[in-house]
Amino acid sequence: MIVTAAADATALEHLLGSDQVLRDPESLERYRHDDAEWADSTAPLAVVLARCTDDVVTAVRWAAAAGLRVVPRGAGTGLSGGANAMADSIVVSLERMNRVLEVNTDERYAVTEPGVINDALRAAVAEHGLWYPPDPASSAISTIGGNVATNAGGICCVKYGVTRDYVLGLTVVLADGSVVELGRRTAKGVAGYDLTALMVGSEGTLGIVVSVTVKLLPLAGRDERAVIGYFPSLTAAGDAVAAISRAGIIPAALEIVDRTCLRAVDDWMHLGLPADVDTLLLARVDERGAAGDEIAGHVADVFTEAGGTDVERATDPEDIDRLFLARRLAYPALERLGPVLTEDICVPRSAVPEMLRRIQVTADAQDVTIANIAHAGDGNLHPLIIAPEGDDAAKARAKTAFDQIVADCLALGGTVTGEHGVGLLKLPGLRVELGDRVLAMHRSVKHALDPAGTLNPGKAF
Ligand SMILES: Cc1cc2nc3c(=O)[nH]c(=O)nc-3n(C[C@H](O)[C@H](O)[C@H](O)COP(=O)(O)OP(=O)(O)OC[C@H]3O[C@@H](n4cnc5c(N)ncnc54)[C@H](O)[C@@H]3O)c2cc1C
């Protein structure tokens, strides 16, 4: 049965209650897109504020019967358009499903609803002496469900791995409204295909995650130090990153923040960051005691040999937090300067200097400002292309720069997205990266689980 748009949302309100279905124009506009404003979007017909699994099932069944599409949404902090609404769609928001359901200290796992904010989960398990490592720079604002759906990375992921490494099991609402339990709670397990891993990073195209079981680590046992160095250019900092990798050092974080970002953060937050430096390289080392001191010393030596100046070690937690705060604030600080087109390429660590050089060449060739932050330790670079508001010519050049950066990344053996997901923005690059046969496999998987194309069609591949 296909219903018309006019018939739709009233019936949905009857099923779920009017307080759980938004239909006013301001709300539809608010839920129209994620943080990737450059990607296409269309206002949805309605927004469902799900409170429980049954609400999600009701919304999906109703939409499927009506021939509408369903766009799952967490906090809408995505940077590739994955949560952007499309024609004839409803958005199902998971933000109200925000309870941590269980923390099991003996088995070291937690079970959480999808709308729990990453930092809130980390705080909840810390009360039990446990640690959930994946720490996207958006940890204060993004949901665990969104993190799972994008397989989010983060700052400490260079050493501790990404979201997929911590997801033991999922409860998922499928496209026909059935509910399945995937995965396990045991420390090991290889029963059947790894459908849990398939769901992680599937960007809401295969199912809607309604609960997540995550593996936890003990909180104690780390001893934090930061090593910072200032470099005369981005490529010099890139050389230091490649040298750290060659030396076999695995820091707990290795981040680049360039001068455009440092200035934007300081103009906004007045953190007292140095005004006259080009590029900051920021490492964290968390081994305990003398071993940690030795590794931090090694990192400092590599920074100095690679041309770093004012190389310093910080052990005061406040200093360390201040420096990493500058990294976390870089993106929102830049957004204040104008619309930002965010890149998320990942190249082999040895190719980081060459990729950074090519980004600068592209910025000059297209006459656009490209600021840079990077989870440099795993080769994941975020060139941030800024176009002044209302300048269409600059916007077109920014788009050309974006495509050139993707092409350079692929030429250097990289991948078009390290952690933000494909969404809409990376579709052209992904098609080049995967090739026809592998894309056909993606279509087969989608067809097997969602033959009618109800869940977030047109995203991710
Ligand atoms: C300042 C800033 C810093 C950031 N830093 C990082 C970073 O360091 N690392 C990183 O990886 N990302 C980062 N991001 C991007 C973003 O925060 C992540 O992609 C995050 O995982 C998205 O979570 P969300 O709750 O906002 O999801 P949304 O943006 O709402 O959705 C993201 C995708 O997941 C799908 N989805 C959401 N919830 C569910 C669900 N329950 N079931 C199925 N599908 C679902 C959506 O359909 C969409 O495709 C950053 C963003 C900002 C604004």
Cα–Cα distance list, 320 to 178, 327, 362 (Å): 47, 11, 33
Tell whether the model's pLDDT for residue 189 goes beyond 90: yes
pLDDT category at 272 given cuts 50, 70, 90 is confident
Tell whether the model's pLDDT for residue 290 goes beyond 50: yes
Q: How many CA atoms lie within 13 A of 423 on its CB side?
A: 34
Q: How far is the CA of 77 from the centre of ligand 1 (A)?
A: 5
- pLDDT on residue 6: 44
Residue 122 CB neighbour total at 10 angstroms: 20
- pLDDT on residue 36: 92
Closest CA to ligand 1's atom 23: 146
Q: What percent of the chain has pLDDT over 70?
A: 98
Of 268, 290, 277, 388, which is closest to residue 339 (Cα–Cα)? 388
Tell whether the model's pLDDT for residue 337 goes beyond 60: yes
Q: What is the mean pLDDT of residues 209-223?
A: 95
- pLDDT on residue 389: 85
pLDDT: is 47 or 11 the higher one? 47
Q: How far is the CA of 140 from the centre of ligand 1 (A)?
A: 12
pLDDT category at 7 given cuts 50, 70, 90 is low
Tell whether the model's pLDDT for residue 216 goes beyond 60: yes
Q: How far is the CA of 338 from the centre of ligand 1 (A)?
A: 21
- pLDDT on residue 338: 87
pLDDT category at 244 given cuts 50, 70, 90 is very high
Closest CA to ligand 1's atom 28: 76
Closest CA to ligand 1's atom 11: 152
Pocket of ligand 1 (CB under 6 A): 34-35, 71-79, 82-83, 94, 114, 136-138, 142-143, 145-147, 149-150, 152-154, 203-204, 208-209, 331-332, 419-420, 456, 459
Q: How far is the CA of 188 from the centre of ligand 1 (A)?
A: 28
Tell whether the model's pLDDT for residue 3 goes beyond 80: no
Q: How far is the CA of 71 from the centre of ligand 1 (A)?
A: 13
- Choosing from 77, 139, 343 the residue with most ligand 1 atoms within 8 A of its CB, the one to mutate for a pocket test is 77
- pLDDT on residue 178: 98
| Ligand 1, atom nearest to 79 Cα | 15
Q: What is the mean pLDDT of residues 417-428?
A: 98
Q: What is the mean pLDDT of residues 263-287?
A: 93
| Ligand 1, atom nearest to 199 Cα | 43
Q: How many CA atoms lie within 13 A of 257 on its CB side?
A: 29
Whether 207 contacts 449, CB under 8 Å: yes
Q: How far is the CA of 302 from the centre of ligand 1 (A)?
A: 34
Q: How many CA atoms lie within 13 A of 424 on its CB side?
A: 22
For 23-73, write each residue's pLDDT tens digit. 999 999 999 999 998 999 999 999 999 999 999 999 999 999 999 999 999
Q: How far is the CA of 412 from the centre of ligand 1 (A)?
A: 27
Closest CA to ligand 1's atom 50: 138
Average pLDDT score, the chain: 95
Q: Which two tokens stand for residue 69?
A: 């599409």
Q: How far is the CA of 119 from the centre of ligand 1 (A)?
A: 14
| Ligand 1, atom nearest to 135 Cα | 8
What is the distance between the alpha carbons of residues 201 and 419, in angstroms, rounded to a whole number?
9
For 350-383, write each residue's pLDDT tens digit. 999 999 999 999 999 999 999 999 999 999 999 9
Q: How far apart are the first and last CA of the chain?
A: 28
Tell whether the model's pLDDT for residue 347 goes beyond 80: yes
- pLDDT on residue 8: 67
Q: What is the mean pLDDT of residues 220-236?
A: 93
Whether 273 contacts 326, CB under 8 Å: yes
| Ligand 1, atom nearest to 421 Cα | 19
- Mean pLDDT is lowest, of 160-174, 324-338, 352-366, for 324-338
Q: How far is the CA of 419 from the centre of ligand 1 (A)?
A: 9
Note the helical H segments in 247-316.
259-269, 289-305
Whether 84 contacts 41, CB under 8 Å: yes
pLDDT category at 1 given cuts 50, 70, 90 is very low
For 431-461, write each residue's pLDDT tens digit. 999 999 999 999 999 999 999 999 999 999 9
- pLDDT on residue 315: 87
Strands 345-346 and 340-342: unpaired
- Choosing from 48, 150, 282 the residue with most ligand 1 atoms within 8 A of its CB, the one to mutate for a pocket test is 150
Q: How far is the CA of 228 from the centre of ligand 1 (A)?
A: 29
Written as one letter, the residue type at 369 is T
